C-alpha cells in the first residue's frame, strides 16, 4: 500500500483514531522493550506481552485516542469528553488498583515462599507481581500518547 493510499484511507475519520491509539500503544511497547534491554543488558521478548514498566502503554494508547478525537471532533465535543473520561479511568486503574494488586502479589509470594520452603510450585506457582504502574510511568505514557497523536495527525495530513 502506498503512503498516499494509506493517508486517504485513515485521514480525518474513525480509522485515524483507532490506528493512532493502537500504534501509540504498540510503539510504547517497543520503547519499553528497548529501555528494559538497556537497563538489564538482557533481551526479554516477554516484555511485549506484559503489563507494567516504563512507559505505561495503556496510558499512551488511551491518551493518543483521546487526543486524536479532540483534534478531529473538537475539544468541546461530547465524544472527546467521553474519551477523556475513559482515559482517566484507565490511567487511574493502572497506577492505583493494578499497582496495589501487584504489591499484594509480591507480599503473598514472600509469605508462600516461607510457608512452602521456597517451593512455590507446590501451590501453583508464583503470582504475577508487575501488574500496575508508578504515577511517573503513567504520566510519561500519557505525554507520549498526546505527542504521538499530534505527530501522527500531522503525518497523515502531511
pLDDT of 81: 96
In degrees to the nearest 10, what's the CA dihedral of 123, 125, 129, 131? -110
Percent of the chain with pLDDT over 70: 65
Highest mean pLDDT among 42-51, 77-86, 133-142: 77-86
Residue 6 has pLDDT above 80, yes or no: no
Closest Cα partner for 145 from 76, 59, 37, 17?
A: 59
Residue 26 has pLDDT above 90, yes or no: yes
Q: Bigger pLDDT: 157 or 94?
A: 94
For the stretch 106-154, pLDDT in tens is 666 666 666 666 655 655 566 555 556 688 888 999 999 999 999 999 8
Full-prediction pTM beyond 0.85? Answer: no
Contact 11, 156 (CB under 8 A): yes
State the cell numbers at 18.
Answer: 483507532
Contact 25, 58 (CB under 8 A): yes
Amino acid at each position: 500500500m502506498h503512503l498516499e493510499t494509506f493517508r486517504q484511507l485513515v485521514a480525518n475519520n474513525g480509522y485515524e483514531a483507532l490506528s493512532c491509539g493502537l500504534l501509540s500503544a504498540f510503539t510504547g511497547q517497543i520503547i519499553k522493550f528497548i529501555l528494559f534491554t538497556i537497563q538489564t543488558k538482557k533481551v526479554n521478548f516477554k516484555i511485549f506481552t506484559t503489563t507494567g514498566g516504563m512507559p505505561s502503554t495503556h496510558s499512551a494508547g488511551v491518551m493518543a485516542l483521546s487526543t486524536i478525537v479532540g483534534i478531529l471532533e473538537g475539544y468541546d465535543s461530547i465524544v472527546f469528553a467521553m474519551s477523556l473520561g475513559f482515559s482517566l479511568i484507565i490511567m487511574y486503574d493502572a497506577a492505583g488498583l493494578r499497582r496495589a494488586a501487584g504489591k499484594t502479589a509480591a507480599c503473598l509470594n514472600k509469605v508462600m515462599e516461607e510457608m512452602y520452603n521456597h517451593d512455590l510450585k507446590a501451590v501453583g506457582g508464583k503470582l504475577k507481581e508487575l501488574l500496575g504502574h508508578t504515577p511517573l510511568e503513567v504520566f510519561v505514557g500519557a505525554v507520549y500518547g498526546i505527542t504521538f497523536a499530534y505527530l501522527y495527525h500531522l503525518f497523515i495530513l502531511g
